[in-house]
Structure formats: structure tokens, C-alpha cells
Structure 1
Amino acid sequence: MELFQNSRIDWLGKKWYFLSFSLLFSVAGVLSLLFWHGLPLDVDFKGGTVVRIRFAQTPDTGRLRSAARTAGLKDPRIQPYGVAANNEVLITLAQEQTREAALDQGRAAIVSTLERHYSAASTEAAAGKLDLDNAGRASLAAFLEQANPEHLDTEAAAAKYQAQAQAIADFKDKAHGGLLDSIESLNGVADAPVVAALRQGGYLSGFNVRNVEIVGPQVGKQLRKQALLATLYSLLGMLVYLWFRFELIYGVAAVVAVFHDTLITVGAFSLTGQEVSLTVIAAILTLIGYSMNDTIVVFDRIRENLRQARREPLADVVNRSINQTLSRTVLTSGLTFLTALSLYLFGGDVLHPFSFALVVGILIGTYSSIAVAAPMLVAWQERRAGSSRAAELPAARRAKA
């Protein structure tokens, strides 16, 4: 399918506009990384505790922050999570709160803060009682065995109440997403004496801890190093491949273009204040391969055209090659971009950083194949040949069948 038939766009004639665009966004990203926002890192890289909590009612983030300050938690990050109707938030403790000695205290500190300052039940009403919204099977079974509402002997009580606790936990988690509407909703799930005991000795806090992620500072530091090495090794591998497949200048031009893409994508995260996580690194590595593939398509057409027009001005050969591959570039990049954009708009908070990296990277990667990599080949030849405009760029080795 040809979208652009016989196009004659003078891409190299616009190289200074492209250079200005690249410099503007590259410099803005570098300045943001060095002096303005830095590079916001997710808990994966800096270490910390992230707790995902679901509330019975729409959570008041202002009240949550006030409760955290009252409890002495330093600069927790509180943000909505997932679909708004689920009433979920992520609470992330600052790195200072999650040193090795305190890692196991992260979840307890957040839960304790919510119980004291955000619980649906008053402190007096909850004193000495079991929080049924956050009680697991083991704590439910222990409570029932101690209360023994059905007056069973010790051996029978253990088996009976463990089965009752399992039924209650399954009903709460699978049917109600971790939160009970009321203790009376357990009628029919557990025996009447058990429900009566829970009504007397338990309460509903109105929130449920759904998930806890803890990453130590040492692990975060190691992950940062491995992410950087993965990116650098991928660039080096691409350079070696293109050196072997084409010529060194092709590899250098492609790697510079991909580095340009990575710099602008990371700079976009810094400028917008979005955190870089392991999934973002995965997206960047994906974009390195995607951008490199797009660049190779253009280079391959340049190489083939050089074999057929050895005396034609190099700029004309490059322009013609870009125009010949333009339909393919727009179709493949356009469809991929629409997919990434759909993820960004409708994928939810979990996929938001990943899809943002893809959206920015696909746009910049497609642009750099035309506006950065190809002009570098011409600039290299012009510098090498002085005033000569002949197409003397090496056509490279013919690929083996």
C-alpha cells in the first residue's frame, strides 16, 4: 500500500529545522535532568514501601496527607490508583522511611496511621476489637478460637473455626474486593453464633490493604545499575551489528539517533515529573529496537540506491531513499503509535508510564530515522570529501543469502 506515491520532499534541505528541534528538546531535557526536576525514580530504583489500599468511600487525599503528617510519616506520596469507582490509592513512603532496619515497618506504619486517623470506626469503638476489613484467615481463625462462640471442644473448635474463617475471607476478597458492606452481610456465609461474635468483637475500618511492595535501597541501587547497563549494552550491540551488516558510519549514525531518542524520552519524564520504573526501562529498550529497525530500513534503501547511482549527489540519493520508504514508515509507525496512544488513554494508571514512554519514543524514533540518522551520513561524507558532492558513501557489503 502506497500512501505517498512519487513524493519529492527535500528532507535534507530542512535539516537545520530538524537540528533546531532536536537541540531544543534535548537541551530542555538535559537541563531538567541536571538542574530542575532531576530524574524521578520509582520505588523500583530508589527503594521504598508502596501500599495499595481500597476504601469503602471515595478517599479524601487531603485528609490522608494530614493523617500521615500527624503520624510523623515524612513526605508520603499519595495518588489515586486504577478506576475511580474502585476508590483505590497508592501510598508510597519516602526513601528515608525505608532504610534496611525499617523496611518491615512500612506497611505497619501506614495501616496504623489509617486505623488511628482515617478509620470509619472511632478509636473508642475499635479499641480491643478485630478489624474485619484487614483481618486475614489466620487472624480470623485465632479470634474465633479464642471467643469460641459455639462452645466446641478444643480439637473440634480449631477445625470448625478455620473452615469458617476461610469462608469469610473468600467471601470478603472474592465477592467484595476486600471490603465488607456490613457484618450482617456474613449471614449465610458463617454460622449465626460466629456472625454474632464478629459483630460483638469486630468492626469495619472502611479500608483494606490490597497489596504491599517493599524494595530495599541496596536492591534499588542494583536495579539502577542493571537498567543503565542494559541500555548501554543494547546500544553497543546495535553498533557492532550495523558495523558488520553495513559500515561503521552507518552504525555510528544509527546509535547516535537512538541515543537522541532515549535522551528526549527520558527528558520528557523529567519535564513532566513522571517516575521512571522498571516497566519504563522495558519500554525504552523496546523503543531502541523499534527505532533501530526503522533506521535500518532507510539505510538499506540508501545502500541499494547508491549501487545504482554512484555519481548522483549523495543528498539526492538520501532524499529519494527516504521518500521511497515514507509510506512504509508512516504505516508501521502510525499503527504502532495508535496502539500505544490507546494504552496511554485507556490503559489505566498501571500502564500510564509505560505507554507514555512508547508514545513519546515512537514519535521521536520515527522522526530521528529521517531527521537525524540520514543527515549524519551526508554530513560525514561532506566532511570526508570536502567540497565533493559525489555519492561516495560506501554501499556496504552485500548481505549473504
Structure 2
Amino acid sequence: MKQILKFSRFFLPAVILSLVLIISGIVGYVVYGGFNLGVDFQAGLIQEIQFAPTAIKLTYTGKGVAGISMDKNKLEIIISGSDVEKRTYTYTYASYPTLGSMIDAMSGIEGLAVEVVASRDVATNTLVQSAQGNPRLGSVPYGIHYITSDVGLIHIAEVRKALASLGNVSVQNLGQPKERKFLIRVEDKGTEQEFAKHTAEQISSALTNAFGEGQVAISRTDYVGARFSKHLTEQAGLLLFLTMLLILVYVSFRFKFHYAAGAVLAILHDGLIMVAFIVWLRMEFNTTTIAAILTILGYSINDTIVIFDRIRETLKLNPDSSFEDNLNRAITETLSRTFITTITTMFAVLSLFLFTTGAMRDFALALLIGMTSGVYSTIFIASAFVLFWEKKVKKDTIKAAVTASAGLKKA
């Protein structure tokens, strides 16, 4: 006969451990002054930059409208307009391996002027595009940058120092250090009109003064207004509340109310544990974080339902055993399933954590924390609450019976 593990012995220590972790999260929230809010939940400007010197500058004064498109394999210039026939000039890096060969090929485009900044021997597969400004080519020079594998590193402290004049600025590394990519976030306090435009200009000016003209490519610029960020925060809170409510209704219908209360308590526990780690690790709290929390809530309730279902089945098969013994038996019988399912999923999430960067890496880390908490809470929080409730009901029933018996004797 399979040995029954006495999980109920560890319910109280587990609850104490959970309280310590949750309280530590609250302390961290107070110490750090809240979450490290992403631009989704905090009004402000966010820019993704890459330190890469300028290779060439393009201007266009011909007929129609000229646009530029780039990917890792090619560069394209598209001429279009009502008075011209649409033409696409494609320059693959395989066909034009050096900057010089590509520039010579571009000389055939009427109205296109190319100013060479870097050496003509620069490899074209090192080119990167700046997304700042209008992607259409015009009289204002449009810069295309490049970055080689042997380029020197840029330390995050240097970037923060360069942007110190802007006040409260958040700077984060993106990707591998050799890629020299950074994420810059500046909070909008609502005191300045045209904040996005002025701040973008200040960032560009500060970086140019510190690192030189044409050394920075702006890959992405986003702005979230105060009204939108407030609305998004309210929607996220409402979404989490409705999730809890629907789970409470479903589990109450499927089992009993105290089972539902235990399930909701467990997923609430998982959310708070994830939040505690997010606070102390200073992970950015954004829509990706909300997605991770909701994913874990669904994952955790699935485990909880499996164990509750086994408890109900075990109670029918062993009516003479105590509820505590049946609960321990049910958890023991489902333990291998719980661990195998969780570990298998963790392998996939771990690969995301190890081989990705930025928001995706944070998402994977949040999932790893949540999965661990989900298994723990299913066994030691949800089940513990159900056992506590059953013992209390039994105690109250015995007390009522004793009181009734005493009343009859007196009569």
C-alpha cells in the first residue's frame, strides 16, 4: 500500500511562511515607494535606443514620396505617389556586402542623395535603422546606423549620467551588452504641455552632448498620457476582481462554498507572492506582468480543482476515515501528477527565461515564481483552509449536540 504523507502537519508552518513572504512584499512596497511601473501604468515617455554610429545619411528631392524599409537581410527604398509609378529598389546584403557597393547601386535612383559618414568597407549586415522622425525620405537627412561585433561597451551608469539633467529618469539594459541597447523612461507629471516632444528632444540633445553627434539610433518612441494610464490601471484591477469572482462562483457550484473560498484564497496568495517578488526584484510592472499573474491564476486553480476532486472521491471511498486522513491521501495520490505537470511546463518557461531578454524574460521569471507558488498554495493553503473549515464545522456540531443533550437532561 502506498505510504500516505502527512501534509496536514505542515499546514501551520506553511501559513506562517506565506504570511512572512506577503508581509515582506508589503514592506518592500513601502520601502521602494510602490511598483516599478512601466509606461503602461505610468504617464510618460519611453524610448528604446541603441548606441550605433551613423553610416550614411539619405535625402530625397525627386518626384513622389520616398520611404525606406529595412530588415536583417535587405534594405528597400520605395518610391510612390499619384504622379509617379510605384517602384521598389531592393538591396540585399548578400548582393551588396559592403556599404560602398550599396551606395554605388543607389546612385541610379533619381533625386536620392547619399552622404557617406562611415567607411565604405563597413559590412551592410551591420546596418541598423533609426525609427525617430518620419520614415519617409525628404530634404532633412535620414540617418542609417551600423554596429559591429568588436565595438566597445556602453555602461548603464554612463547613460544615466548623461541624462541626469532631465531629473527622474529610469534606464534599463536591453538585450546583450554588446548590442548596446537601452530603455529610457521619463515620467510625465502633467505640468508641461507637449511633454513628449520636448522630452524626446532633451534626451536626444543630452545623449549627443555626452556621446557625440550621430552616435545614437532611436529604435522606438512611445508615449502614454495620464488619462490612458489611469484607465488602464482601473481596467486591470477590475479584470483581477472579476477573475476571482468567477472562480468563486464556479468552484462553489462544482463543490461547496468553503472549497471555493479556499481556492480563491490560494490564488490570491499566489498573486500576492508574485507581487512580493516583483517588488523586491524591481521588475517592471506592466501589462505583461498582469498577463503573467492571470496566467498563474488559471494554472493554480487547475491544480486546486484536481486535488479537490480527488478529496471528494476519496471521501466516498473511505467514509470511515477522518476528513484529515482522506485529505492527506488525496494530496499524496495526486502529488506525482502535480509535480510532473509543473516541471514539464517549467522546462518550457525556463528556456524563455534563459534565451530571451527584456519584457519576455521578466514574463518568464514571473511565471516561474507563480508556478512554484501555485503548487505550494494548492497543497498548503487551499487544502489547509478546507481542513480548518471542516474541523470548525465538526467542533461546532459536537458543541451544539452537547448543549442540546444537557438541555434535555435538565428538562
TM-score, length of structure 2 as denominator length: 0.69
Output the CA distance in 1 between the equivalents of 2:6 and 2:304.
18
Coordinate RMSD, CA, aligned:
2.0
Match of 1:305 among 314, 318, 322: 314
1:66 to 161, 175, 198: 161
Shift of 1:98: 8.2
CA contact (8 A) 2:208 2:215 kept: no
> What residue number does 1:43 align with?
39
Q: Report the Cα offset of residue 78 of structure 1.
A: 1.7
Q: Report SS of the residue matched to 2:219.
A: strand
Please say if residues 46 and 220 of structure 1, whose CA atoms lie closer than 8 Å, have aligned partners that are also in contact.
yes
Aligned match of 1:6 in 2, 6, 18? Answer: 2
Segment of structure 1 superposing worse, 44-53 or 290-299:
44-53
Does 2:17 correspond to 1:21? Answer: yes
Residue 37 (structure 1) shift = 4.5
Q: TM-score, normalised by structure 1?
A: 0.71
* 1:91 Cα offset (Å): 1.3
SS state at 1:96 partner: coil
Following TM superposition, the consecutive aligned residue runs of length 4 or more in structure 1 with deviations greater than 6 angstroms are none
Paired residue for 2:49, among 20, 45, 53? 53
Deviation string for 1:186-224 (max 9, x for gaps)?
A: xxxxxxxxxxxxxxxxxxx12211111111121111111
- Counterpart of 1:318 (choices 327, 337, 342) is 327
Inter-partner Cα distance in structure 1 for 2:279 and 2:17: 18
CA distance in 1, matches of 2:276, 2:192: 29
Match of 1:102 among 195, 199, 213: 195
Structure 2 residue 293 is the aligned partner of structure 1 residue 284: yes
CA distance in 2, matches of 1:99, 1:304: 64
Task: State the 1:338 CA deviation.
Answer: 2.3
Seen in structure 2, the aligned counterparts of structure 1 residues 30 and 60 have a Cα distance that, compared at 3 Å, is: closer
Q: Deviations over 1:239-279 (max 9, x none)?
A: 00111111111111100010011011101111222221100
211, 215, 238: which one aligns with 2:220:
211
Query: Counterparts of 1:353 and 1:312 in 2: how far apart (Å)?
Result: 46
1:116-135 Cα shifts (integer Å, max 9, x gaps): 3322x4xxxxxxxxxxxxxx
Alignment of 1:141-152 (within 5 A): none
Measure, in 2, the Cα distance between the counterparts of 1:309 and 1:277. Answer: 48
**Bigger strand share:** 2
Task: Indicate the structure with greater helix content.
Answer: 1
Equivalent of 2:379 in 366, 370, 393: 370
1:59 maps to amino acid: I
The residue identity in structure 2 corresponding to 1:354 is F
Partner of 1:79: 172
Q: 1:229 to 1:7 in 2, by over 3 A?
A: farther
Contact 1:100 1:216 in 2 (8 A): no
Q: Does 1:117 align with 2:210?
A: yes
Match of 2:181 among 88, 108, 111: 88
Partner of 1:254: 263
Q: Give 2:392's match in structure 1, choosing from 371, 380, 383.
A: 383
Counterparts of 2:190 and 2:51, CA distance in 1:
24
Contact 1:55 1:208 in 2 (8 A): yes
Distance, in Å, in 1 between the alignment partners of 2:17 and 2:393 is 26
Distance 1:388 1:346, change over 3 A: farther
Aligned to 1:148: none
In the superposition, relative to structure 1, how do residues 335 and 210 fare at CA in structure 2: closer, same or farther (>3 Å)?
Answer: same
Q: Distance in 2 between matches of 1:280 and 1:303?
A: 35
The 3-state SS of whatever aligns with 1:80 is: strand
Residue 45 of structure 1 aligns to a residue whose secondary structure is coil
Asked if structure 2 preserves the Cα contact closer than 8 Å seen for 1:276 and 1:353, the reply is no
Specify every segment of 5 or more residues in structure 2 that has no aligned partner in the other structure, as ranges: 53-150, 399-411
* Counterpart in the other structure of 1:199: none
Match of 1:268 among 266, 277, 301: 277
Q: Is the 8 A contact 1:28 1:267 kept in 2?
A: yes
Number of residue pairs matched? 299
Check whether the contact 2:51–2:215 (CA below 8 A) recurs between aligned residues: yes
Q: 1:346 to 1:328 in 2, by over 3 A?
A: same
